Structure 1
Amino acid sequence: MEPLLFSICVIVFTLVSLFVYNAKSHGKSKNLPPGSFGWPFIGETYEFIFSNHDKFISGRMQNYSSKIFKTHLYGQPTVVLCGPSGHKFIAANEGKLMTAWRPTATRKLFQSAMPTGDSIVSRQSEIHLVRAPVFITQEALVAYASVMDGVTKHHFETHWFGKSQVEVFSLLELLTVGIATRLFMGLQDLDCVAKMAKWFGHIAQGLHVLPYEIPGTTFGRAMKGKRAVMNEIMKLMNEKRERLAKGEMPTDILSYMMVSADPSGKIRSDEEVADKVMGLTTAAFNSPCIALTFAMKYLAENPQVYQRIRDEQMEIAASKEPGDTLSLNDIQRMKYSWNVLLEVMRVIPPLQGTFREAMSDFTYDGYTVPKGWKVYWTVSSINKDPKIFTEPDKFDPTRFEGEIPPFLNMPFGGGPRICPGKDFAKLQMLIYLHYVVTFFKWQLINLNPKVLAAMNALPLDGVWVRLQRCAQ
């Protein structure tokens, strides 16, 4: 339905957009990067959203430049900076030459993604939140490991034990949303968690699509999910407000935000608090869910990799007393397991790239990028480059055993805007991996699951596996 909707939009807007498009100079007097703007108004957004992302990027790198090319995405003239040098340039010039920018769909879903006029203040606010005592400081991660361990074991006992086959992606949505809502909101009602998982799944799928709220479309479902999540968070806030009034101390990020000011000293509104917690939860579950789903696929396809992970994890399990939970020290011992996850995220990135906006004209590789243009960087320009990763289509976790040069291993971004929740994500992924390989062996049922190879690599029909319990 979505490609059809896109085609209708092309027909409706072409006449008007021809005038608008031609009226804009797009910096014609400047030495612009090579490339094509594609269709008027629509640009190359259709291919960007609906085609294979790797092919979209690599094809244009071959046709125009391996370092920079121009295109037209989401109604905006855009340059794509490629490779390690492109990301290094973006990281070095954050808040100087460029600022964060989000596509319209993301901005409609999250009020906190709207431009504030001061990206530095906005970023300080994000960092202020995640460094809060109840979020991802080292002390918080110690406590989180115990909670994640308990939630993960209960998840397997409830949804995996006694089953001959399961669909991995939907169960991982349930688990990762359950962990995030438990730790960020204090939510323990399992029925509510199940509803939240469905709603957050719709929100995550709507982040980089056409921003038309039409029933039955991806974005229509995303906006419906947003309203449901916001309503549920508001109910939780009312309950927490009563307990806080009785002297209860904040125990999660939601209650902390309700009683604390932002870096400027301003008390946040209920809507702002709910919006930010919704954004944190989406970020916390989406990438780990995707990465772990495809880890299950690659471990099934590579039994020698599975066995090496299992050997590592069984050694850790043998060092624990009955009833013990995994600790941060245990997580640090999972070196090969983490290399496997890094390789999974190289082959199938949970998120393909990020956008910026030029704050002023700047020059890159001899070309001018005009003020106001959008700047895009994608891991596709690195992860599949045979000059960087030998045999890039081969699944080989050993490539991460040595020292990886900067700006080559980028699953969580880099520079000033590196994902502040990367340690949180690593913790929950490795805890899951520990239990799934100690509990089970599995085989793929759908051998080649269809993947939406756009900004988020979503398994369209899920990843089904046949389970076999392992002897403990």
Structure 2
Amino acid sequence: MNILAILVIVVSLFLFFFILRRSKGNVPPGSSGWPVIGESIKFVLLGPQKFIKERKEKYSQDAFRTSLFGQKMVVLCGPLGNKFVFANESKLLTSWWPLSVRKALFFPEFVESSTDEVSSLVYRFIRDILRPEALKQYIPVMDSMAREHVNSLWADNEIVKVFPVSKKYTFDLACRLFMGVVDVENVTRLAKHITLVNAGLFSVPIDLPGTAYNRGIKGGQLVRAELMKIITERRKEMVENKFEAAYRSDFLSRMMLVTDENGKFVSEKQITNNIIGLIFASYETTSTAVSFVLKYLSELPHIYDEVYKEQSAIAKSKSEGETLTWEDIQKMKYSWNVVCETLRFIPPALGGFREALTDFTYAGFTIPKGWKTLWTVHTTHKDPKYFIDPETFDPLRFEGKGPAPTTYVPFGGGSRMCPGREYARLEILVFLHNIVTKFKLEKVNPQEKIEFYFLAVPMEGLPVRVTRHKM
């Protein structure tokens, strides 16, 4: 009887899992890794580029299954995968962020809300504050702050660690433009808290003392508390002097005048969530881009010379003390090609996560409802099928029509293309102008190791030797 019972159980389990597998259809091949942590550790150790390359070769060039952040996940590969995601926003897929990101960034009562619900204010407001026409007024501020930054952190030093000083510049600028915060003490305190958040943003969601996830949550609490103080004080200013507040130039003051469908001002917590989203979407990614643009200029003299020639011509057209203008930015065509090639080589962001709204089929595979998907720059940017000689740094590949559609996607695509891409372009080019017109750059350690996770991190901080141009 015992043997019969065991056989019945074994057969029943076999049938159960067979039926379960059939019900899911032909899910993409891959591995789920270990319980809870999935393949997250391998993802970190290998870096996203190598992790994805190995699994494409092992499982499928179209899509493969993995498990990251405790979630079943399918990576959609190549330009067709990118196109599929971008074309099916809000139809088959919706935006999704890992729990570690949501718990670190947002108030607890918003953690279970959809990403679109939390960020709805930004997307209603973004057309006004980040469209090119609106951003023109920020160019003089960017230029003035870049000059101050160069004078204080570059001018008197023979060697500059590009990575940390670039992060300081982009964060100071974000505080000024997004929130009108210029007090050094406030900015320094916010930066310290945000460093904690960054440590746990994309981590395995295990909330134990000492874990990156735990540090990220604590950092998020501190950031939100600081922002709530700023918003409360700003609300008081608005009550006392409504006309002046209405015409403040920073994003926060303007955001506080936005009303919901019932004509009520949006709550302080909702504003805080969205300001945090703006900071994190712009700060780390832009500082990474700036740093690696300067890395390649310090390593490739022939590229530097062409950028210097272009930027010098613009500088010579300006009178003493005159700041850059929108028209000047439009003349920086070769410089922007260099930035684009840098973003192809070392993208400032991994890609984007989505959640399946329903079962759907892609490339002959079934993706079940509720599963998470990932589109990523690492399935196309270094692929020789889309970029000839992909390991050669060549800005001229962005001349004319440039790369084929959905092969070059540092800013995403479709309806959710990064709304801050024009802000990033202006910030990077303004900073580049202020460095290149003053200094010749030379890489101190050509063999410096670069660690890849969700962002690229130079292990020595990208030290460069700076030499002032002869007047």
**TM > 0.5 fold call:** yes
Distance 1:224 1:118, change over 3 A: closer
Matching residue within 77, 82, 87 for 1:82: 77
Corresponding residue for residue 253 of structure 2: 255
1:436 aligns with 2:435: yes
Corresponding residue for residue 7 of structure 2: none
How far did 1:216 drift?
A: 4.8
1:282 aligns with 2:280: yes
Distance 1:99 1:24, change over 3 A: farther
How far did 1:321 drift?
A: 1.2
Corresponding residue for residue 358 of structure 1: 356
Find the residue that maps to 1:242 and give its secondary structure: helix
The whole-number CA distance in structure 2 between the counterparts of 1:55 and 1:171 is: 29
The whole-number CA distance in structure 1 between the counterparts of 2:267 and 2:81 is: 38
1:127 aligns with 2:126: no
More displaced, 284-293 or 449-458?
449-458
Distance 1:68 1:392, change over 3 A: same
Corresponding residue for residue 412 of structure 1: 411
Corresponding residue for residue 166 of structure 1: 160
Find the residue that maps to 2:361 and give its secondary structure: strand
Structure 1 unmatched ranges of 5 or more: 1-21
Corresponding residue for residue 426 of structure 2: 427
Distance 1:122 1:279, change over 3 A: closer
Structure 2 unmatched ranges of 5 or more: 1-16
Find the residue that maps to 1:31 and give its secondary structure: coil
Corresponding residue for residue 16 of structure 1: none
Distance 1:147 1:460, change over 3 A: same
Cα deviation digits, residues 199-242 of structure 1 (max 9, x gap): 33333343212234555544344334323322222222232122
| Conserved? CA contact 1:449–1:461, under 8 Å | yes
Corresponding residue for residue 346 of structure 2: 348
Distance 1:124 1:229, change over 3 A: closer
Cα deviation digits, residues 334-357 of structure 1 (max 9, x gap): 011111111111111111121101
How far did 1:103 drift?
A: 0.8
1:57 aligns with 2:57: no
How far did 1:110 drift?
A: 2.0
The whole-number CA distance in structure 1 between the counterparts of 2:24 and 2:236 is: 62
Matches within 5 A, 1:323-472: 323-404=321-402, 405-472=404-471
| Conserved? CA contact 1:105–1:206, under 8 Å | yes
| Conserved? CA contact 1:49–1:209, under 8 Å | no
1:31 aligns with 2:26: yes
Matches within 5 A, 1:137-156: 137-156=131-150
Distance 1:422 1:379, change over 3 A: same
Find the residue that maps to 2:28 and give its secondary structure: coil
Find the residue that maps to 1:259 and give its secondary structure: coil
| Conserved? CA contact 2:52–2:379, under 8 Å | yes
| Conserved? CA contact 1:187–1:193, under 8 Å | yes
Cα deviation digits, residues 132-184 of structure 1 (max 9, x gap): 4xx22334311100110111101111111111112111111110011111011
Corresponding residue for residue 298 of structure 2: 300
Amino acid at match of 1:128: R
How far did 1:451 drift?
A: 2.3
Matching residue within 88, 92, 101 for 1:97: 92
TM-score w.r.t. length of structure 2: 0.89
More displaced, 320-329 or 264-273?
264-273
Amino acid at match of 1:46: I
How far did 1:78 drift?
A: 1.2
Distance 1:167 1:222, change over 3 A: farther
How far did 1:24 drift?
A: 11
| Conserved? CA contact 2:131–2:422, under 8 Å | no
TM-score w.r.t. length of structure 1: 0.89
Corresponding residue for residue 116 of structure 1: 113
How far did 1:58 drift?
A: 0.9
Find the residue that maps to 1:131 and give its secondary structure: helix
The whole-number CA distance in structure 2 between the counterparts of 1:217 and 1:123 is: 27
The whole-number CA distance in structure 1 between the counterparts of 2:217 and 2:36 is: 24
Distance 1:318 1:98, change over 3 A: same
The whole-number CA distance in structure 1 between the counterparts of 2:171 and 2:262 is: 31
The whole-number CA distance in structure 2 between the counterparts of 1:461 and 1:131 is: 39
Amino acid at match of 1:129: F
The whole-number CA distance in structure 1 between the counterparts of 2:141 and 2:208 is: 39
Find the residue that maps to 2:380 and give its secondary structure: helix
